[in-house]
Structure 1
Amino acid sequence: MIPATRPVDREPDTASVCPVCLRRLDAWRVVRGDTVFLVKRCPEHGDFTAPVWRGQPDFSAWKRPKRPSAPRRAFTAVDRGCPFDCGLCPEHGQHTCTALIEVTARCDLGCPVCFASSGPGNATADPPLSRIAFLLDRVGQASGRCNLQISGGEPALRSDLPAIGEMAKARGFPFVQLNTNGLRLAADADFARSLAGGGFDSVFLQFDAVTDEAYRALRGRPLFDLKKRAVAAAVRAGLGVVLVPTVIPGINDGELGDIVRLALSFGPGVRGVHIQPAAAFGRHPWPGRDDRRLTLPEVMAALVRQSQGLLRLEDFHPPGCEHSLCSFSAVYQRTPSGGLTPAPKAGGCCDAAPAADPILAEEGARRAKAFTAKHWAAPGPDAAPAAPVDDFDRFLAKAATGGRFTLSGMAFMDAWTLDLERVRGCCIHEVSPEGLLIPFCLYNLSASDGRTLYRPQPGGHGRAGA
């Protein structure tokens, strides 16, 4: 394949950063055959080219236009410009759909692909409950009652997780999800029940493969049986489960169809599969290597190819909340025979066909929060919601969501693929230790030498190039 070059006859399409020094650069999206490259030039470190879209659906047709709306409350002012003023600043164009709060930097695995570089050797003290309460309050001030994901490190290493869930629910957060590797769920029979009784609705479970060979490569040890036990424990406790594969070509990209079929075999307690192609940040062994990248069309094509007729390419559609180029999703209804059929349109964020007019970003976030809370929590009897309600809430109350199954994927951006147009449309925000809300990809962004822009590092802070 001939690499793309920087156009000299047109204005830049967006802005990005240099993977070496993280300075802001003009950037272009350049089409070569069925591949779209992000191209940029640093005056000090030269040209950089990375693929961001390979294959079908067609890049030009993958759109879901939105009208930006400012954050409810901005904690930082515009000074140097994106990406250096984040917190969120007043120029951010999307409200928070999901806020991630990291409650520990410790982990009982040392995964080679960890975006947070967590592991057993991390001695950083866990934030006390009083600090987590402060962070929850900051999210409420900035974004209102969005969905929450409690993350790490491995948050299951904390003994007070139920108290964290209870604090979140006491503040009115409607959907609280645990991001976990599942080791404690598999080993501790009471742990899942304590989560369900402590305010947690769902488990976002690291689940990369159906073979131990892939786990050895991605996680450093065989884990397949343990992962299945973790799923069973969470489902028994009444928690919704979403399986989350981190995918790298040549390691586990050939197991996506098997993961979907296994997810269906667990029954309606497994609410879906959310696929995350690995990005080059955190503890990554392959900075800038294009043969280690998977773009969204390649993931969709692999799912269809491996599904044995279960899925179709036309099932997938752009998101209604975050930027169109960030993700895909499809919503299915389980059939009595164990198959899937596309679910009826919901009139909301996850319809296959976008509305005729661009949706207001705030409304897209509202619908996405409601959809996620309804579809990723454990299945239960459909009940009428408490007043007040609107047409979308009424639809969700009537829809038989217990038999739904969601299939989605998200392409995180690293220093090679960072597109600041996409960043300004981000709805998934990490909460920094200081209580600032920062788009996920910016918070985890790292230069080629491992320096970070926002994520604190042992012995100091990020802010490389700031």
Structure 2
Amino acid sequence: MNAFRPLPLPTESVCPVCLGRVPAEYAEEGGAVVLRKSCPEHGVFSAPVWRGEPDFRSWVRDKMPSYPRRPFTERERGCPYDCGLCPDHGQHTCTGLIEVTERCHLRCPVCYAGAGTAPHPDPSLERIAFQMDRLHEASGACNIQLSGGEPTVRDDLPSIIRMARERGFGLVQCNTNGLRLGTEAGYAASLKAAGLDSVYLQCDAAEDKAHEILRGRPCLAYKLEAIRACGEAGLGVVLVATVAGGVNVDGLWKLVEMALRLGPHVRGVHFQPLSAFGRCPWRSDAAPRVTLPEIARALAEQSQGMIRWTDFHPPGCENALCSFSAVYRRVGEGLELVEGAPASCDCGGTPSAAEGARKAKAFAVRHWTAPHPSPSDMAEGDDFDRFLASAGIHQRFTLSCMAFQDAMTLDLERVKGCCIHVVNPGGLLIPFCLYNLTSFDGTALYRGRA
């Protein structure tokens, strides 16, 4: 897409009823930019994707594709049906996800994976090793996230972490609800000893009302214990909040303030506007949607001027409509923008997706792992550690947001630029949104289909 192209802007999508490929367009409707599409059998559908400033047309931008170095599938039916990745995909992997279980000790009302509902047996260590080898073959030393279900229900999770570390992935991260981390003494330390770098911790708000709606129960207390345990173990933590209209939009900055109080091992907060995947109390045409610019402006307004929505920048890796981010420096109990610092998945305006991907992977390693000690503590460290400390990396804090696409908002042009890929049990790499995509009746396009 080109910046400042007039609306309507044509693209392609899928019908949310039958998942058939259909023509679509971005158009102005009711003060918002919507994705509008029409299926000859099931009718017209429309969903908001952008409300307010920054201007939609100034935010989108071109980039040169960076094709996967090793596609595993051929073009047959065309996007979105040939994923593996196919040769038409315009971005190689920055983060590869491997779901190590379908089990979970929660049954959240909102769950992309629909975890805990008649789960299949856990994949063997041999199967997971095969998936890791395929990821490395396709994408080299990208970052890897162990996901599920809830990964910590596996007692052999440390062995899985060691397998990832032995293969040289840049960052080894665990996506978790934090229950076991917050209730089992020494568990965080065991994951750190196995080679885990970072914990991607589900945490929707600084109070439990939102958790009761989105997770089905109060859970803030054990999440706080999980954060404490990770800090003691030397693990970096990123808080990850699902954002739903009328649920927790008013408390975004309170979550940031809580994160800042909890210590420098909390490396940032990542917001994810609600997407109607898997298990969701709202059908995708009725979901309480919040768009990227609304979250950016809410953060700025709730911070009472500490940050500005103009701090946030579009990515240089994935499609510009997928995310925003900014890097800050902790100053007392507040934040100060790090001018000129590359944000997550940002390449400073370069048109090369390959350069954006390189910086995205390096960003996660640098900013999402546990902080380095202060310079006064570095007498025993090496030169690189002293450089990081003197550069203030240990005081960095990130704010970021990623808008995943569900059956109402899916744009195939955006999908082709996706850099977050799920490795399925058969060793194929599927863009995250396509892997989780479900129709109105819950039919999945890829999940559960090896």
TM-score by length of 1: 0.90
Which of 230, 239, 242 is 2:238 aligned to? 242
**Letter matched to residue 300 of structure 2:** V
SS of equivalent residue, structure 1 residue 81: coil
* Native 8 Å contact 2:318 2:345 kept in 1: no
* Native 8 Å contact 2:12 2:21 kept in 1: yes
Against the structure 1 CA distance between its residues 352 and 55, is the aligned structure 2 distance closer, same or farther, given a 3 Å change threshold?
farther
Which of 340, 344, 357 is 1:345 aligned to? 340
1:71: which partner in 2?
68
Which of 33, 49, 55 is 1:58 aligned to? 55
CA distance in 1, matches of 2:170, 2:91: 19
Q: Which runs of 5+ in 2 are unaligned?
A: 1-5, 376-381
1:186: which partner in 2?
182
Which of 115, 135, 139 is 1:118 aligned to? 115
Residue-by-residue CA offset, 1:351-402 (whole Å, 9 max, x unaligned): 69524xx2x211211111001111000001586569xxxxxxxx97974211
Against the structure 1 CA distance between its residues 280 and 23, is the aligned structure 2 distance closer, same or farther, given a 3 Å change threshold?
same
2:24: which partner in 1?
27
Which of 143, 148, 151 is 1:147 aligned to? 143
SS of equivalent residue, structure 1 residue 242: strand
CA distance in 2, matches of 1:362, 1:285: 38
SS of equivalent residue, structure 1 residue 245: strand
Which of 283, 289, 296 is 2:292 aligned to? 296
**Letter matched to residue 415 of structure 1:** A
* Native 8 Å contact 1:345 1:351 kept in 2: no
Whether 1:317 aligns to 2:313 is yes
Which of 81, 87, 90 is 2:87 aligned to? 90
TM-score by length of 2: 0.93
Residue-by-residue CA offset, 1:337-357 (whole Å, 9 max, x unaligned): 2211111323686669524xx
Q: In the TM superposition, what is the alpha-carbon distance from 1:302 to its structure 2 partner?
A: 1.1
Q: In the TM superposition, what is the alpha-carbon distance from 1:78 to its structure 2 partner?
A: 0.5
**Letter matched to residue 87 of structure 2:** P
SS of equivalent residue, structure 1 residue 374: helix
2:98: which partner in 1?
101
SS of equivalent residue, structure 1 residue 284: coil
2:355: which partner in 1?
363
Which of 132, 154, 159 is 1:158 aligned to? 154
**Letter matched to residue 39 of structure 1:** R
* Native 8 Å contact 1:317 1:352 kept in 2: no
Residue-by-residue CA offset, 1:50-88 (whole Å, 9 max, x unaligned): 111111111011134310021010000000000000000
* Native 8 Å contact 1:12 1:26 kept in 2: no
Q: In the TM superposition, what is the alpha-carbon distance from 1:124 to its structure 2 partner?
A: 1.1
CA distance in 1, matches of 2:253, 2:234: 26
CA distance in 2, matches of 1:215, 1:195: 26
SS of equivalent residue, structure 2 residue 33: strand
* Native 8 Å contact 1:256 1:302 kept in 2: yes
Residue-by-residue CA offset, 1:6-63 (whole Å, 9 max, x unaligned): xxx9996110000000000111000236411111110000001111111111101113
2:330: which partner in 1?
334
2:205: which partner in 1?
209
Which of 423, 426, 450 is 1:431 aligned to? 423
Q: In the TM superposition, what is the alpha-carbon distance from 1:301 to its structure 2 partner?
A: 1.2
Against the structure 1 CA distance between its residues 352 and 340, is the aligned structure 2 distance closer, same or farther, given a 3 Å change threshold?
farther
Residue-by-residue CA offset, 1:266-323 (whole Å, 9 max, x unaligned): 1110000000111011001212345610110111111112112221111111012111
CA distance in 2, matches of 1:299, 1:348: 17
CA distance in 2, matches of 1:169, 1:349: 22
* Native 8 Å contact 2:372 2:389 kept in 1: no
CA distance in 1, matches of 2:10, 2:391: 41
Whether 1:137 aligns to 2:133 is yes
* Native 8 Å contact 1:384 1:397 kept in 2: no
* Native 8 Å contact 1:156 1:184 kept in 2: yes
Residue-by-residue CA offset, 1:418-438 (whole Å, 9 max, x unaligned): 000100000000111111000
* Native 8 Å contact 1:41 1:48 kept in 2: yes
1:389: which partner in 2?
none
Give RMSD over aligned pairs.
2.1
CA distance in 2, matches of 1:353, 1:240: 25
Whether 1:410 aligns to 2:405 is no
CA distance in 1, matches of 2:270, 2:78: 32
* Native 8 Å contact 2:329 2:395 kept in 1: yes
Percent of aligned pairs with the same amino acid: 58
Return 26-35 or 279-288, whichever deviates more: 26-35
**Letter matched to residue 249 of structure 2:** D
**Letter matched to residue 339 of structure 2:** P
Residue-by-residue CA offset, 1:135-185 (whole Å, 9 max, x unaligned): 100000111110000000000000111111111111111210000000000
SS of equivalent residue, structure 2 residue 163: helix
CA distance in 1, matches of 2:203, 2:356: 28
Return 62-71 or 170-179, whichever deviates more: 62-71
Q: In the TM superposition, what is the alpha-carbon distance from 1:209 to its structure 2 partner?
A: 1.2
2:439: which partner in 1?
447
* Native 8 Å contact 1:316 1:328 kept in 2: yes
Displacement over 4 Å in runs of 4+: 9-12, 347-353, 381-386, 395-398
